[in-house]
Structure 1
Amino acid sequence: MPWFVKIEAGRVHKPTFDQYVPAHTAYVQELINKGHKAKTGYWVQRGGGMMLFEAASMDEALAIVAADPLVQNDCVSYKLYEWQIVME
């Protein structure tokens, strides 16, 4: 399956953002349980973050991102890319 990368930037103040982090981490765990090999994290130096995951297509990747609680609650803006791995 192809890999996808969601690069995100925060849109809200940290207290608002933080209230949705538990739902986001539960959602990522659900993706892992479904076989999407999801990983999520944040940039230490500059705010924002990234989520990597596998999906069958860009359409499925868009649906996965749209269901993320951070996106649903307008906590982040993002760009979604298909990542072509050239070496593992």
Structure 2
Amino acid sequence: MAWFVKIERGIVDKKRFDRYVPAHKAYVKELIAQGHQAKTGYWGDFGGGMLLFEAESEEVAKTIVANDPLILNGCVEYELHQWCIVVD
């Protein structure tokens, strides 16, 4: 499995964004239960956040991101990158 990171920037107002946060958290918990070792969080000093997870391939990673409620509901713009760990 490879590591991937979705780096995101909010594009809607906070009220709309916050409406989908519980679904996003539930989705991440589902990813954890499926073995993707997902972690999610936001930047403390500016808007946006990150989802870090393992996936079998880039195609699977794209599907995982596409099904995130924050993406499905048009709350964020994002970049998806494979993260190559140098020291573990």
Q: Where on the TM-score scale, by shorter chain, does this alignment land: which range?
A: over 0.9
* Stretches (4+) displaced over 4 A: none
Name the counterpart of 2:53: 53
Name the counterpart of 1:34: 34
Name the counterpart of 2:62: 62
Which amino acid in structure 2 is aligned with residue 60 of structure 1? V
Provide the rounded CA distance (Å) in 2 between the counterparts of 1:43 and 1:14: 15
- Superposed counterparts of 1:1-88, under 5 Å: 1-88=1-88
**Cα deviation code 1:18-53 (max 9, x no counterpart):** 000000000000000000000000001011000000
Identity among equivalent positions (%) equals 62
| TM-score, normalised by the number of residues in structure 1 | 0.99
Q: In the comparison of the two structures, how many residue pairs are matched?
A: 88
Which amino acid in structure 2 is aligned with residue 80 of structure 1? L
Q: Where in structure 1 are there 5+ consecutive unaligned residues?
A: none
Provide the rounded CA distance (Å) in 2 between the counterparts of 1:2 and 1:55: 6
Provide the rounded CA distance (Å) in 1 between the counterparts of 2:35 and 2:51: 15
| TM-score, normalised by the number of residues in structure 2 | 0.99
Which amino acid in structure 1 is aligned with residue 15 of structure 2? P
Which amino acid in structure 2 is aligned with residue 39 of structure 1? K
Question: Which secondary structure state, in structure 2, belongs to the residue aligned with residue 60 of structure 1?
Answer: helix
CA RMSD of aligned residues (A): 0.3
Q: Where in structure 2 are there 5+ consecutive unaligned residues?
A: none
